[in-house]
Structure 1
Amino acid sequence: MINNSDFPNYFIAGENASVLAQKNYVRYVKWDLILMCAGAMLTIYNYSYQETKQWIYILSGLILLIAFVLSLVIKTKKYEDVWYRGRALAESAKTLTWRFMTKSEYFETDLSEEEAERRFTERIKEIREEFRDINSSLKAADLRKDIVTSKMLTVRNSSLQDRKDFYLKNRIDNQIEWYTSKADSNKTRYENWFWAVICVQFLALLSIGFLIFKPASNYNFVGLFTTLSASFFSWLQLKKYQENKEAYNTAMSELNLIKSEAKYIDSEDAFAKFVLDSENAMSREHTLWLAQKRI
């Protein structure tokens, strides 16, 4: 069993910064969309009294002002960039850590413990420089943690069979399970939200039909349903359920194929290559995810 606290400081710092930025970004976008929908709701009924209309306009203006401020916060705080870059930092440090623990490429078995630690620290420094643009978002309390943890050394100093078993259980199986769960979850959410888009678009059509036959009506739901449709579609674009599902399915399938080769591992060199292939497969999934988010 391995926990987040068993990984190096820059993994923990990047992970925490990414999670916090993601929560803030999604929260602000969600409330921005909710406020836009609330503003549209106020326009449903055409009030006959001028004073009532004035209060509705004032309330609508306040709602739109808050939404405007939220949009400015999203733009200036750059939560999305920290979310992506923090995730990339964490994944880079995690991959490096697994290669260190399993004695894979650049941390081979013939190295002394001191030399392996020195190499690992140098690579962490390189990663730190690569992601120096998000240094201000990393917590000092996370950065003061160990670069090489006791768990990393314990796994590295274990036998080939123990390292192999540990890697298969805590990296390969764990990641396959995570990919499978995420792929199924994203598929379900994509279908639910897309059906929601279709439903509100249909309601907008019905509203237009109602106004055609009742042009004198004081009720107009068209603005509300079109705003809801645009908001739901924006949420789909934000979460990228369909793209994520495909990326997770691809990575899970590739990793499952690689796992089937584990039974042929009978030497340190074979295990080192196995780990390298596995980590490259997981890195490709993350690179694809990051590229999709940048589009």
Structure 2
Amino acid sequence: MDEKDFPNFYIAGDSASLSAQKFYTNYIKWSLISMLTAAVVAIYSFQEVESKRIGYVISGILLMISTILSLIIKNKKYESTWYRGRALAESAKTLTWRFMTKSEYFEDTINDDEAKKRFINRIKEIKNEFKDLNASLKAKHLSVPIITEKMIATRQLNLKDRMEFYLKNRIENQISWYSSKADANKNKYEIWFWAVIIMQILALVSVAYLVFNPESNIKLVGLFTSLSACCLAWLQLKKYQENKEAYTTAVSELNLIKQEAELIHTEEKFQIYVLDSENAMSREHTLWLAQKRI
């Protein structure tokens, strides 16, 4: 399934979420860089008054930039748009898969016109639930179809082909995505955590240096403590460890669900199977949102 095969609100929510995430992380990144640069300026203790004044001015400007960026982050509410946009996209995606596979509320016992009507009504409910995102959703994304040709074509497949399509494009695709994300988050967590420890050790070394050389004009303690704090702040922002655990749990559960497909031979059992699968993915997303304190 390509992005264009999903409903307009999935595309719009996904785009809004990714855009807000990009702005949010970039503003945080440059705010931290500004503070670090201010710390670098303060490394050398100048003796001349004019040199000190210039250093203070530069530090003040950098700290002002960091403060302005923090105010922008607060007022623009990028973090909320990031998580709410993702929730909108995931809600629309789950509804789409239930429609295509003739799962609960879109069963094979109702005709396609009734199924389309029910799908549109559910999309309206989702739209109303996320009214706060209206300003962040782009018109060009909302103008694409609510029910795509791919959705209709998939729904019209026989049971065997629908099952194969769902297993390949939903279950296996998600298992692969969660697995790669779990590994990536684990590696990044290790890198950034060790960065925190190394900066703390260097700060201790710098303190020891000043103990034995108190007359030195070079003071690196502030720089390394600032670097350590920035690395720790980045860890908290990205939540690598929490995400790794959530993704790993999802992979384990989905892999078990995947094996159960071999026992399905009727529409009724497939409806329940899809519902269980989508609930498993919803639990992972709910946990992800909870970790972000939404």
Q: Tell me the amino acid that sits aligned with residue 131 of structure 1.
A: F
Instruction: Give the equivalent residue in structure 2 for 1:40.
Output: 39
Instruction: Give the equivalent residue in structure 1 for 2:218.
Output: 219
> Quick one: distance in 2 between partners of 1:238 and 1:169?
33
Instruction: Give the equivalent residue in structure 2 for 1:86.
Output: 85
> Quick one: distance in 1 between partners of 2:253 and 2:157?
28
Deviations 1:163-206 (A, max 9, x none): 00000000000000000000000000000000000000000000
Identify the range of structure 1 (141-150 vs 233-242) with the bigger mean alpha-carbon deviation.
141-150
> Quick one: distance in 1 between partners of 2:136 and 2:281?
25
By how many angstroms is 1:94 displaced? Answer: 0.1
Instruction: Give the equivalent residue in structure 2 for 1:58.
Output: 57
By how many angstroms is 1:294 displaced? Answer: 1.2
Instruction: Give the equivalent residue in structure 2 for 1:237.
Output: 236
Instruction: Give the equivalent residue in structure 1 for 2:183.
Output: 184
Q: Tell me the amino acid that sits aligned with residue 167 of structure 2.
A: L
Q: Secondary structure at the match of 1:218?
A: coil
> Quick one: distance in 2 between partners of 1:33 and 1:269?
54
Indicate whether 1:130 and 2:129 are aligned. yes
Percent identical among aligned pairs is 62
Instruction: Give the equivalent residue in structure 2 for 1:142.
Output: 141
Instruction: Give the equivalent residue in structure 1 for 2:165.
Output: 166
> Quick one: distance in 2 between partners of 1:151 and 1:170?
13
Q: Tell me the amino acid that sits aligned with residue 187 of structure 2.
A: T
Unaligned runs of 5+ in 2: none
Instruction: Give the equivalent residue in structure 2 for 1:154.
Output: 153
Instruction: Give the equivalent residue in structure 1 for 2:277.
Output: 278
> Quick one: distance in 1 between partners of 2:12 and 2:62?
36
> Quick one: distance in 2 between partners of 1:287 and 1:131?
16
> Quick one: distance in 2 between partners of 1:251 and 1:216?
57
Q: Tell me the amino acid that sits aligned with residue 123 of structure 2.
A: I
Deviations 1:200-258 (A, max 9, x none): 00000001111111111101101001110000000000000000000000000000000
Once the two structures are superposed, the pairs formed by residues 248-267 of structure 1 within 5 Å of their partners are 248-267=247-266
Tell me the TM-score normalised to structure 1 length.
0.99
> Quick one: distance in 2 between partners of 1:33 and 1:44?
17
Indicate whether 1:29 and 2:31 are aligned. no
Q: Tell me the amino acid that sits aligned with residue 155 of structure 2.
A: R
By how many angstroms is 1:62 displaced? Answer: 0.9
Deviations 1:57-92 (A, max 9, x none): 111111111111100110000000000000000000
By how many angstroms is 1:144 displaced? Answer: 1.1
How well do the aligned residues superpose, as a CA RMSD in angstroms?
A: 0.6
> Quick one: distance in 2 between partners of 1:257 and 1:114?
34
Deviations 1:150-173 (A, max 9, x none): 100000011101100000000000
> Quick one: distance in 2 between partners of 1:77 and 1:65?
18
> Quick one: distance in 2 between partners of 1:66 and 1:35?
7
* 4+ residue runs over 4 A deviation: none
Q: Tell me the amino acid that sits aligned with residue 77 of structure 1.
A: K
Q: Tell me the amino acid that sits aligned with residue 52 of structure 1.
A: S
Deviations 1:89-122 (A, max 9, x none): 0000000000000000000001111100000000
> Quick one: distance in 2 between partners of 1:63 and 1:196?
24
Aligned length, in residue pairs: 294
> Quick one: distance in 2 between partners of 1:192 and 1:67?
25
> Quick one: distance in 1 between partners of 2:142 and 2:177?
27
By how many angstroms is 1:142 displaced? Answer: 0.7
> Quick one: distance in 2 between partners of 1:277 and 1:211?
62
